[in-house]
Each structure stands twice: as structure tokens, then as C-alpha cells.
Structure 1
Amino acid sequence: MTKVSVVIYGAETVCASCVNAPSARNTYDWLQTLLPKKYPELDFKFTYIDIDRDTENLTDHDDQFIEQIKNDELFYPLVTMNDEYVADGYVQLKPLKRYMSEQFGVTDTTN
């Protein structure tokens, strides 16, 4: 079974550019429920990182993504899979499904 590490970076306050989008925590909860149902052949591990509070035990990838968010190069919530950028800001299903198909060769089983 292919392992997929999903990391959602966010903060308590809603991103200024994403006012009408779900919060980072809501995005984390949504993906944690959605992805295993749509892709049962993958072994998902989910992590939420608060960019303002979680500062210990971060990888270099984590630090780089957090720096890009703080420099307004990326928006939160930011979603990565296996340390690769997937989506940021207003995270939607269609780009996620495309990424899953391209990177892992899987299709949505719930269409």
C-alpha cells in the first residue's frame, strides 16, 4: 500500500486573501475524511501545522513552506503530499483529484 503524508499548514486566523474559503482547520478535517474514502488503496497520514504556533520538530520542507506563506508567496491553508506542493488558499476538489491521478496513478472510487 502506497503511503501518502498529507500536511496542511494554516493558522487560527483566516487568510486575508481567502476570506470566503474554509479555514485551514476545516480544510484539514475535510481532507482527513474525504481522501481515505475516495482513495482507499492509499495509506494516508495527516498532519496539521499551525504556522504561528508549531515551531519545534519541523522538517526543512516545513520551514520552507512556512517561510513562503509568511512572505506571501503562498497562501494558507497550504496542502502538501509527500513534501510536494498540491494546493493553497481556497483548496478545491478538482485539482486534488488531478494531483492524485498524476502522482499516484489512482482514480476517485466514489465518483
Structure 2
Amino acid sequence: MERKEAKVFIYGAEQVCASCVNLPSSKETYEWLEAAITRKYPEQAFHIQYIDIYSPPEEEAIKRFAAKVVEEDMFYPVVLINDTVVGEGNPRLKTIFSELEKHGYQAG
């Protein structure tokens, strides 16, 4: 199976979500995930990006999803791999790794 570089997006905000008190911030989750994916899948490229839901970049799809997170009161951080939501509020590594492996990633 040929592997395409996965795009991992972490949507969040500076302020911790009201339902997520005592959990890491969205930025901390982004840093933790980047390190965990790099360790689990060494030398397998992936793109990871943190997106502030209140000031997203101009890319239309990203702006649309950021607005959805706000409008639907989703628990953030929300983790997307390509177009699949794999975590909300307190993402689980097992779920994230499982989705990456569906895209051809192999543990190192």
C-alpha cells in the first residue's frame, strides 16, 4: 500500500475549552502529538499544523472547519487526520495511530 503524507490538524484556542479544564492546552496537545507521531513512525513524513479556531489561516476548508468547531461547541482541541475527526477534547493516541496506519504508516 502506497502511503501518502498524512495531514494532521489540531484545531484549538489559547483558552482551554470550558469542558476541558485540567486537560493540556491545544498548543500542548499539538506539541505532544507531534513528538508522539515522530517517535512512533520514524522517518515517515507527515504534516502537522496547529490552527487557532478564532484566527484561522485564509485557506477556505480550514476556515470552514474552524467555524464549525466554534458553532457546534466541539470540545477542543479537535484532531483531524486528512478529513477524519480522530479526537475531541482529550485525544487518544491509540485512535490517532490507528487512523495513521489506515493510511499506510508503520510503527518503527
TM-score (structure 1 length as normaliser): 0.81
| Match 1:34 to one of 33, 36, 49 | 36
Unaligned runs of 5+ in 2: none
Q: Distance in 2 between matches of 1:99 and 1:30?
A: 17
CA contact (8 A) 1:4 1:44 kept: yes
Answer with 34-43 or 18-27: which moved more.
Answer: 34-43
Letter in 2 for 1:57: E
Unaligned runs of 5+ in 1: none
CA contact (8 A) 1:2 1:41 kept: no
Q: Distance in 1 between matches of 2:24 and 2:34?
A: 14
Q: Distance in 2 between matches of 1:59 and 1:36?
A: 28
How many pairs are equivalent? 106
Percent of aligned positions that are identical: 38
Letter in 2 for 1:58: E
| Match 2:8 to one of 6, 20, 24 | 6
User: Is the counterpart of residue 99 in structure 1 residue 60 in structure 2?
Assistant: no
Deviation per CA, 1:37-59: give whole Å up to 9, x if none: 101253111111111123x4223
TM-score (structure 2 length as normaliser): 0.83
Answer with 92-101 or 23-32: which moved more.
Answer: 92-101
User: Is the counterpart of residue 16 in structure 1 residue 15 in structure 2?
Assistant: no
What is the RMSD of the two structures over their aligned residues, measured on CA atoms? 1.9
Secondary structure at 1:2 match in 2: coil
